[in-house]
């Protein structure tokens, strides 16, 4: 169903070489994934799933999200880190708690054991896991491509955790992808959709934007609220943050990051929307610089990304909004 969607960007940003790769990739996404992950590749069961505080987010994922891996409720507001991630409230701010909701989905990612792991955090409310189905896909050359269910299921790892309200639960599904996939494409939006298993209706959707620069895979995300003053001081002032940070998530660990990436910093980009249509949103980087105070790395030429553009998906289009 989802692979019939076609999105047309208002602004085309693709180079011919990228388009060539995109064409080659879209020709057989399933075949590509199979090629890049032949038998013997690391499976989901070989990914490190240590969860020291038992909140459902593994330690390595808490590190990417800047959460406390030794506290199930980092901000002590009664909602677990996992539930806050799934429900899009800020897990490190006591005064940020989830809005009333029936079901939510949040995607994030990390590198782990030579693989890229895409993490679905799904707030189920009072639903059972059997009540929903998941689908997953990518934005490739202006088109939405479905990741085949056989691949998804082979690579998926699922756990279930209690929610804050009695009778509610939060599910985590981790799906590993070959990092070559990201290297080949450069930038990719990976989407997930939670569907009603009875009716097929889309209930929730989210998108995570991944990229590759100089062989380093990164995840683009909004700066956490707690660092608004830190990151917004020079660039954003007191205005609401409109930018994003890109956090390196090298599949093999920190050792994969070359010397040209500065430790203790992150590349912050202020962006503006320059086009939207058919579910695609085109962003242009208008300011960019390395900001310190982060347990991350900043590519030394972060500032040269000014003027570049990237596209992402509007999750609302995936649920018919």
Q: Which residues bind Ca ion (CB under 5 A)?
A: 51, 53, 55, 57, 67, 73, 75, 77, 79, 81, 84
- DSSP letter, residue 166: T
Task: List all residues 6 or more positions away from 87 whose beta carbon is below 8 Å from its beta carbon.
Answer: 79, 98, 99, 101, 104, 106, 123
Outline where DSSP puts E strands in the chain: 104-112, 115-125, 132-140, 143-146, 156-162, 169-177, 187-196, 202-213, 216-221, 244-248, 261-277, 280-299, 309-313
Quote the least distance from Cβ 47 to Ca ion, whole Å. 15
CB nearest Ca ion: which residue?
Answer: 81
- 3-state DSSP assignment of residue 26: helix
- Look up residue 6 and give its DSSP letter: B
Q: At its nearest, how many Å lie between Ca ion and the CB of residue 68?
A: 5
Residue 179 beta carbon to Ca ion: minimum distance, rounded to whole angstroms: 23
Q: Could you tell me the CA-to-CA distances from 302 to 12, 157, 195, 289 in Å, in that order? A: 23, 35, 38, 6
Least distance (Å) from Ca ion to the CB of residue 226?
13
Residue whose C-alpha is closest to residue 13's, from 296, 284, 227, 260: 284
- Output the smallest distance, CB 151 to Ca ion, in A: 27
Nearest CB to Ca ion, comparing residues 174 and 195: 174
Shortest Å, Cβ 122 to Ca ion = 16
Sheet with 280-299: list strands edge to edge: 143-146, 132-140, 187-196, 202-213, 216-221, 244-248, 261-277, 280-299, 309-313
Closest CB to Ca ion among 51 and 155?
Answer: 51
């Amino acid at each position: 169903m989802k692979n019939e969607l076609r999105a047309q960007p208002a602004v085309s940003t693709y180079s011919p070489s990228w388009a060539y790769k995109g064409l080659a990739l879209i020709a057989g996404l399933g075949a590509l994934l199979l090629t890049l992950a032949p038998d013997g590749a690391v499976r989901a069961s070989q990914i490190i799933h240590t969860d020291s505080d038992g909140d459902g987010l593994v330690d390595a994922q808490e590190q990417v999200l800047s959460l406390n891996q030794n506290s199930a409720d980092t901000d002590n507001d009664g909602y677990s880190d996992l539930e806050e991630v799934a429900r899009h409230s800020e897990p490190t701010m006591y005064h940020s708690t989830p809005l009333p909701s029936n079901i939510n989905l949040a995607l994030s990612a990390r590198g782990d054991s030579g693989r890229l792991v895409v993490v679905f955090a799904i707030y189920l409310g009072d639903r059972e896991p059997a009540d929903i189905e998941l689908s997953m896909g990518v934005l490739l050359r202006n088109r939405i491509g479905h990741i085949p269910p056989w691949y998804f299921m082979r690579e998926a790892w699922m756990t279930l955790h209690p929610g804050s309200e009695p009778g509610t639960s939060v599910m985590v599904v981790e799906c590993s992808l070959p990092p070559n996939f990201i290297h080949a494409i450069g930038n990719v939006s990976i989407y997930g959709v939670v569907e009603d298993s009875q009716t097929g209706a889309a209930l929730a959707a989210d998108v995570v934007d991944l990229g590759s620069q100089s062989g380093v895979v990164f995840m683009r995300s909004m700066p956490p609220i707690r660092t608004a003053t830190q990151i917004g001081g020079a660039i954003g002032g007191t205005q609401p943050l409109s930018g994003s940070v890109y956090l390196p998530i090298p599949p093999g660990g920190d050792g994969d990051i070359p010397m040209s990436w500065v430790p203790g910093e992150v590349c912050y980009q202020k962006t503006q929307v320059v086009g939207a249509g058919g579910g695609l949103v085109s962003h242009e980087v208008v300011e960019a610089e390395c900001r310190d105070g982060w347990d991350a790395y900043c590519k030394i030429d972060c500032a040269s990304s000014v003027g570049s553009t990237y596209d992402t998906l509007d999750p609302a289009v995936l649920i018919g909004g």
